Amino acid sequence: MDIKTLITVDPDILGGQPVFAGTRVPVESLFDHLEAGVALDEFLDDFPTVAKAQAVALLEMANRLVTAKNIDQLYAAAA
C-alpha cells in the first residue's frame, strides 16, 4: 500500500496531524494503543473507521523503515 493512500496530512484535519486516510484517526493513536499493550483488534474496535488492512500496512511500513539497512540515514533525517 502506498503511503499517500494510507496516510493523509491535511491542515484542515486535526491541524495537519497524520491520520489514516479517509478518517480523522491519528496514526499516532495506533502506536499509543500498541505501546499501552492494547491488541490490534481492540484498537480497531475503538476506531471502526480504520480498516484492518490500513493498520497492518502501516505497521509493515514502520517495520520496513526501522529495519532497513540504511537506517543511519533515517536517524540522520529525524535528528
Task: Answer yes or no: is pLDDT of 20 > 70.
Answer: yes
pTM for the full predicted model:
0.83
Rounded Cα distance, 21 and 11, in Å: 14
Q: How confident is the model over 3-22, as a mean pLDDT?
A: 94
pLDDT in tens, 21-75: 999 999 999 999 999 999 999 999 999 999 999 999 999 998 888 887 777 776 6
Residue 79 pLDDT grade (very low, low, confident, very high; cuts 50, 70, 90): low
* Centroid of chain to Cα 54: 8
Task: Answer yes or no: is pLDDT of 7 > 70.
Answer: yes
Measure the CA angle with vertex 22, ends 16 and 28; round to 5°.
50
- Cβ-based neighbour number of residue 19 at 10 Å: 21
User: At 55, is the secondary structure helix, strand, or coil?
Assistant: helix
Q: Domain 3-78, what fold? A: Arc Repressor Mutant, subunit A (1.10.10)
